[in-house]
A and B are shown apart, each in its own frame.
Chain A
Amino acid sequence: MWQEFLYNFIIYIIFTYSVITLGFYLFIGVYSIGETRRYLNKSSFTDHSLLASSPYAPSISILAPAFNEELTVVQNVRSLLSIYYNQLELIVINDGSTDDSLHKLIIAYDMEPASHLYYQHIPTRLVKCIYKSRNPVYHKLILIDKENGGKSDALNAGINVADSRYLVCIDVDCILEQDALVKLISPFLQTGEAPVIATGGVVRIANSCIVENGRLTEINLPRKFLPRTQALEYIRAFLLGRMAWSRLNGLLLISGAFGAFDRNIVIKAGGYNTKTVGEDMELLVRMRRYMEEHKLPYKVTYIPDPLCWTEVPDTYKILGKQRNRWARGTLETLKLHRVMFFNPRYGLLGMLSYPYWFFFEFLGPIVEFLGFVAFIIFIILGMVDWPFFLALLAFIYTLGFLFSLFAILMETYTYNQYKKKGDLTQLILTAFVEPLLFHPFIIWSAVRGDIDFLRKKKSWGDMERKGFATKLETNS
């Protein structure tokens, strides 16, 4: 008897959870429309080009950490240098590359060591040298050569050296549109009372797109299955999810590949955390927390313009590693800031944003995974009520498919990047097949990430002990 009770209990939990999740996603989807429409309407009459050259436009530093990118780094920097914005510094941070990246950059841009004064607001690994170009054409470029310390550490070094009001943190291999900066910086300038402390931008998928001279010349829907499903996923997450959260002013994550931040607030919040793999989310949460704790009004916004293009993993192996890292990053951030959980002191952040991340982004994969395991067990025990189960499966499947189609509709309504013949059919088919071929893998990678997180916790202790031991030896 208890078996049946347990069975029903588990079924109801899974059912309720799925319905709430999908219902919430749909709400987010619909809620995002207002924000996206407002942005599109605003774009229809705004001319941002003035910002590129006005002496009253704010100063911006682009921070691009680089590690072992010798094949593409010179080209990437060239494309970044061609962005038109006058008060701009492009800071490339060579994070102790073991290949030829540094040397190639020095040669290509005629760099020489320069005495560049800066204050180390945030402690970082050793900065070996700062280079500037002899050629006035490249006067915006600053190259930092430092000891390897990871992406966060490199960004922190960049933050220290930067001498501007706003920071734009990107991945060095991202392709930015010509007007990316002026559009990204606009929200900071158009705000009324509450200052904007960070703005995120949509990251689009560059796989199968044609890139010439560091510029995107042709947009194509990714040909391979994995990048294509990620394209769909990104549309859902960015166009629907983030726009909705931006409207609520509850955004917790700005992609490390493309985001703008108020440098002062970043420094006051302490810079990037070098001990987490989810540094992008963790910084934004900490910045928001700083503002909440100091009771300062602020906004975090998001713009849906496709301004940044990047390549995504096209093999299951690399994708798995990425999602594993994302899961660990989420957990690390949630753990670090657990004080906010349902804490009214943190307003919307604590009462809605954080719980959402906990219950849906973190617990979601776990619940799904356990549900699947339970299902297998029930099959073995011969307890499965097939009509009910099949009906439930069809219900959840179609609801998920519906959500993806809604995302596709929104993409067509807004920027309509995939206009070629057959693109729409491909996207719809991808959405149909995704729950079978893509979603389970993502769930599995996330669960593995969670397990790895728990495991590492235990093994950190070991690593620390080893570390201390060596230190003592060298001292004596």
Chain B
Amino acid sequence: MYTIRPQYLFYLTLCFIVVIITLIICTIGMTVQKKRRLLRKDKIAGQVSEWLAETVLEDDRDAAVKGAFNIPGNIQVILRKKKALDIVLDELILLRKSFNGSAGYNLEKLYRQLQLNKLSLRKLQSRRWHIKIKGIQELASMKQEQHLNNITQYINHSNQYIRTEAQTALVRYWGYEGLQFLDFTDYPVTEWQQLNLMHLLLQQPAINDAPIGKWLNSSNASVVQFALKLVAEERDSRHYEAVIQCLGHPNEGVNVQAVLCLGQIADTSIIKTLIVHYKNANEMMRIAIVNVLEKTGTSRGLSFIRKKSTTDSEVVKLACLKHLQQHSITTRAM
């Protein structure tokens, strides 16, 4: 006698076989669908590419009609299908990343003419976060300023990705002015986001009255870090005092960033301050200080490094010795 009757196992096995058949059908179905989708995309992209290329290159000055672009009959037929519009939208977005100037302007104009902004808006309103993000990115890259309010509502969203994309979109539109969210965000600004934003900001002209001072005093350590990077990049020495304050910040990352920043904005007078802060600094900060001192190229800086190369912890010693080695190579070369 056994409590597990073979019949039960047999029935379960049959169930499994049913599931197996379902899985196989699903897999085949998925393969077919993916292939079909790819073929369709290639077909449509091929059909419209000639016309898109011509339109993008159209020179403003030549066009007799400064209004709408001419859309040939056959293209209009293709564009009646939503799938085709989606594909064209993707192509335009991709191209907008690479082209600016008159080509960029043409892309935006075509985007509006084909009413693709409606598609992007619909994406923005989607409940699925990755679709929403696509909407944000599309509206931002096509400079659809009139939809800014729709995007602004997400800059402090709890979903990390929505939040960062919305922030990025604002900075793309407004440059430094788009950084307002730094005033109040209590979420950390990730390293990736900081990297992204710096990249965008470098393409924009700096403005004089960005509230960097406020950000340097933020309670959000990542905001302070980012502000320090901004100060360093712009070589803005107006915030010198605030940056020195950051040397004593409780967050280690901020300390290190402050040292690096001083390396960019300060003159040799910084040496004394750095040496004073060295005492209480942790290893990472000490290495940063040593690096900056080396950059100053002063004899005082170098003698400090020389001293630390024999007395400090191994990791710091190594950094010092490397600098001394480099220095002796360069002086020998001179």
Chain A in direct contact with chain B (Cβ < 8 angstroms) = yes
Residues of A within 8 A of B (CB): 8, 11-12, 15, 41-42, 44-45, 50-51, 54, 56-58, 115, 117-119, 121, 186, 188-193, 385, 387-388, 390-392, 394-395, 398-399, 401-402, 405-406, 408-409, 412-413, 416, 419, 424, 428
Complex partner residue of A42 from B7, B28, B161, CB under 8 angstroms: B161
B190 touches A192 (CB 8 A): yes
In the assembled complex, B9 has its CB within 8 A of some CB on chain A: yes
B23 in contact with A405 (CB, 8 Å): yes
Tell me the complex Cα distance, A189–B128, Å. Answer: 24
Other CB < 8 Å A-B pairs besides A50-B199, A54-B195, 6 of them? A44-B130, A190-B192, A190-B193, A395-B10, A409-B23, A409-B30
Please, which residues of chain A bring their CB within 8 A of the CB of B160? 190, 192
Q: Are A56 and B194 in contact (CB under 8 A)?
A: yes
A-B contact pairs, 18 of them (CB 8 A): A42-B130, A44-B130, A45-B134, A50-B196, A54-B198, A54-B199, A56-B194, A192-B190, A385-B2, A388-B2, A391-B6, A391-B13, A395-B13, A398-B13, A402-B16, A405-B20, A408-B23, A416-B34
With both beta carbons as reference points, the residue of chain B lying nearest to A386 in the complex is identified as: B6
A398–B325 touching, CB < 8 Å? no
**A424 and B165 in contact (CB under 8 A), knowing A56-B195, A117-B318?**
no
Closest to B322 in A: A117
Q: Which residues of B contact A391 (CB under 8 A)?
A: 6-7, 9-10, 13
Question: With A56-B229, A388-B4 given, is the CB distance from A45 to B194 under 8 Å?
Answer: no
Given that A50-B195, A405-B27, A424-B28 are contacting pairs, would A191 and B20 also be in contact in the complex, using a CB cutoff of 8 Å? no
- Known contacts A115-B325, A395-B9, A401-B20; A413 and B30 CB within 8 A of each other: yes
Judge whether B133 is part of the interface by a CB distance below 8 angstroms: yes
B314 at the interface (CB under 8 A from A): yes
Once A41-B130, A391-B6 are accepted as A-B contacts, the answer to whether A399 and B16 lie under 8 Å apart by CB is yes
Looking at A41, A57, A401, which has the most chain B CB atoms within 10 Å of its CB?
A: A41
Residues in chain A near residue B30, CB distance under 8 A: 409, 412-413
B130 pairs with A189, CB closer than 8 A: no
A119 contact from B12, B129, B165, B314, Cβ within 8 A: B314
CB atoms of B190 and A189 under 8 A apart = yes
On chain B, the number of residues with a Cβ less than 8 Å from chain A's Cβ atoms is 49
A107 to chain B minimum Cβ distance, whole angstroms, is: 26
The complex places the Cα of A401 from the Cα of B21 at a distance, in Å, of 11
For residues 10 through 45 of chain B, which have their beta carbon under 8 Å from a beta carbon of chain A? 10, 12-13, 16-17, 19-20, 23-24, 26-28, 30-31, 34-35
Report chain B residues within 8 Å CB of A51: 192, 195
Q: Mark B117-148, 1 if CB is under 8 A from A, else 0.
A: 00000000000111001100100000000000
B285 to chain A, nearest CB (A): 14
Which residues does chain A contribute within 8 Å of B9, judged by CB atoms? 388, 391-392, 394-395
Nearest CB in chain A: distance from B307 CB, A = 18
- In the assembled complex, the Cα of A15 lies from the Cα of B133 at a distance in Å of 48
Task: Give CA–CA (A394, B6) in the complex, Å.
Answer: 10
Chain B residues in 8 Å Cβ range of A44: 130, 134
Whether B191 and A189, one on each chain, are in contact in the complex, defined by CB atoms closer than 8 angstroms, is yes
Indicate if the CB atoms of A412 and B321 lie closer than 8 Å. Answer: no
Given known contacts A15-B4, A115-B325, A416-B31, is B23 in contact with A406 (CB within 8 Å)?
yes
B210 interfacial contact with A, CB 8 Å: no
Check B16 against A189 for contact (C-beta < 8 Å): no
Q: Which 6 residue pairs spanning A and B have beta carbons closest together?
A: A41-B130, A391-B6, A189-B192, A391-B9, A398-B16, A189-B191
The verdict on B188 contacting chain A, using a C-beta distance below 8 Å, is yes
* B187 on interface, CB distance cutoff 8 Å: yes
Name B323's closest neighbour in chain A (CB-CB): A117
The chain A residue sitting closest to B284, CB to CB, is A264
Query: With an 8 A cutoff between CB atoms, is B315 at the interface?
Result: yes
Docked-complex contact B188 and A192, CB < 8 angstroms: yes
Q: How far is the CA of A402 from the CA of B19 in the complex (A)?
A: 7
**Contacts A388-B2, A394-B13: A409 and B35 contacting too (C-beta < 8 A)?**
no
Indicate if the CB atoms of B27 and A409 lie closer than 8 Å: yes
Asked whether, in the complex, the Cβ of B190 is within 8 Å of the Cβ of A190, the reply is yes
Contacts of A387 in B (CB 8 A): 6
Residues of B contacting A186 in the complex (Cβ-Cβ under 8 angstroms): 192
Cβ A45 vs Cβ B130 within 8 A: yes
B195 touches A189 (CB 8 A): yes
Query: Which listed residue (B20, B130, B187, B194) contacts A192, Cβ 8 A?
Result: B187
| Chain B residues within an 8 Å CB radius of A189 | 190-192, 195
**Smallest beta-carbon distance B255→chain A, Å:** 16
Which residues on A sit within 8 Å (CB–CB) of B34? 412, 416, 419
A191 to B161 CA separation, bound complex (whole angstroms)? 11
Specify which chain A residues have a CB less than 8 angstroms from the CB of B26 in the assembled complex: 409
Across the interface, name the chain A residue whose C-beta is closest to B317. Answer: A119
Are A41 and B129 closer than 8 Å at their CB atoms?
Answer: yes
A394: B residues at CB distance < 8 A: 9-10, 13
Across the interface, which residues of A come within 8 angstroms of B196, CB to CB? 50
Nearest Cβ distance between residue A408 and chain B, in whole angstroms?
6
Q: In the assembly, what is the distance between CA of A395 and CA of B137, in Å?
A: 50
Q: How far is the CA of A441 from the CA of B28 in the complex (A)?
A: 30
Task: Kindly state the separation between the CA atoms of A191 and B190 in the bound complex, as whole angstroms.
Answer: 6
In the assembly, what is the distance between CA of A51 and CA of B193, in Å?
11
Give the distance to chain A from B219, nearest Cβ to Cβ, in Å.
15
Which B residues lie within 8 Å of A188 (CB)? 191
**Which residues of chain A come closer than 8 Å to B7, judged between CB atoms?**
391
Please indicate the chain A residues that have their CB under 8 angstroms from the CB of B187 in the complex: 192
Given contacts A192-B190, A405-B24, A408-B27, contact A388 B195 (CB under 8 A): no
Bound Cα distance from A428 to B20, whole angstroms: 11
Contact B13 A119 (CB under 8 A): no
CA distance A377 to B222 in the complex (A): 67
Shortest Cβ gap from A6 to chain B (Å) = 14
Q: Which residue of A lies closest to B196 (CB)?
A: A50
